[in-house]
Amino acid sequence: MTSARRNGRLVGATLVVAVVLLVLVGLWFRHSFHRVEKTLYLPPSGEAAYNPLYALAKALEADGVTVNARQRLMLDDNVLAPGDTLLLFNDPRALSPPEAERLLAWVEEGGHLLIRTPVYSPGEDISGPNAPQSQMLDLLSAWLVDEMPSCEDFQVEGEDHHVEFCRGRRFAFEDVVPELAWGDLQNGYVYARIAVGKGHVDVLADFDFLANTATRGPLQEELDAPPDGGLRDGPHRALARQVLAPNYRQGTLHLVYAAEMPSLWRTLFLRGWMVWAPLLLALAAWLWMRMQRFGPPVPSPAGERRSLLEHVRASGEHLYRYGRGVMLYSAVRAAFLARLRRRDPVAAALTGEPQVAAIAERTGQPAERIRTALHVPASHDRQAFRDRIALLIQLRNRL
């Protein structure tokens, strides 16, 4: 009874201490931690991940404009009406000469075409004989300015100070006076609208302001940083409305873009690490298990040999090592006596000294050695064992 009561008190005290600790931990947690709401901006998915004009298309559709967004021009499948607008977000050098002439013929009937200047990498020759040219710019008598001047200021009422066309290639015209222009003849234009028949062609240095958002580098992909740039900025929306003005709501607005698909290896590296990291660790563990030990290379073991003499010798060494030397001696003595019975039955039938004398007379060996060879040696005397075995084999060979 005393032991049971003591155990009950110990269990009760333990439960009380555990409850007190849990209460203290709960009070500390409520005092130290507070619920905080945090907004995370996930990267775009679906069509918005590869279509840079996705936001523009949705905004135009919400404003009552008929939009036809596609990745390639495909003039045969998408007939352009005189009141339509075509925005080529791609590099204009991708246009073939027949396509460029066909587009200008459509513009003369009342179409509105928007193109940009080609995208050149830093240090690339844009004026040499081997430089790729844009057939559309050649037909418009436009040429590119070699230098890259500073950005153009752009101020919209009610918005902060803004700059545009900081990375685009400026251009100029030869014997062509644009209806609207942004820039100057000395540094080149960043935007110009020229009349072609009943329609218009707008040439811009860059289309970044029409994209969904500004392009972020690999080190700027922070989920808590809100996306900016592109059509998210008020000045960009105002500028987009101005460049689309001539045929706005008169016909279909065709948005032709080049799909900006991310690299497969980059996508696997950034988003597939939950798969390739464990597989890489498993491969490393398997290689660790399969590799040889550290140190100098170990020679390959000798192959199996089928020599009967080697097996017999190995069996004898095994028996002698485990104290069965008397058994080996008895086998050799029995082999000697068996041959003696076949070659000299009279000597084999004798026993004792007469047999020793008969064997000595036949083999020519001293009687003392023969007498020693016929007696069993001590199990611990190795020298005697070897001598008697050798002598018995020698006597057997002399019979």
Domain spans in the chain, listed from the N-terminal domain onward:
46-122+132-213+225-267, 308-398
Give pLDDT, residue 82: 92
Question: What is residue 219's predicted lDDT score, i.e. its pLDDT?
Answer: 45
Looking at the structure, give the CATH architecture of the domain made up of residues 46-122+132-213+225-267: 3-Layer(aba) Sandwich (3.40)
Structure tokens at 375: 């007696």
Whether 341 contacts 378, CB under 8 Å: no
For position 67, what pLDDT does the model report?
Answer: 93
**Which has the closest alpha carbon to 240: 44, 18, 60, 88?**
60
Pairing of strands 199-204, 188-196: antiparallel
What was the pLDDT predicted at 294? 58
pLDDT of residue 298: 66
Residue ranges of the chain with per-residue pLDDT less than 50: 219-220
Q: What is the dihedral of CA 137, 141, 145, 146, to 10 degrees?
A: 80
Q: Provide the pLDDT for residue 254.
A: 94
Predicted confidence at residue 292, as pLDDT, reads: 64
Contact 238, 53 (CB under 8 A): no
Q: 329 and 386 in contact (C-beta within 8 Å)?
A: no
Instruction: Give CA–CA dist 59/121, Å, rounded.
Output: 32
For 46-71, letters b (16+ CB in 10 Å) and e give: eeeeebbbbbbbbebeeeebebebee
Give the H/E segment covering residue 58: helix 54-62
Mean pLDDT across the chain: 82
pLDDT of residue 111: 94
Q: Closest by alpha carbon to 195, among 83, 79, 110, 103?
A: 110
Question: In 3D, which of 53, 166, 172, 73 has the Cα closest to residue 113?
Answer: 73
Could you tell me the CA-to-CA distances from 145 to 137, 153, 193, 358 in Å, in that order? 13, 19, 17, 128
- Give the pLDDT score at 126: 55
User: What per-residue confidence (pLDDT) applies to 220?
Assistant: 45
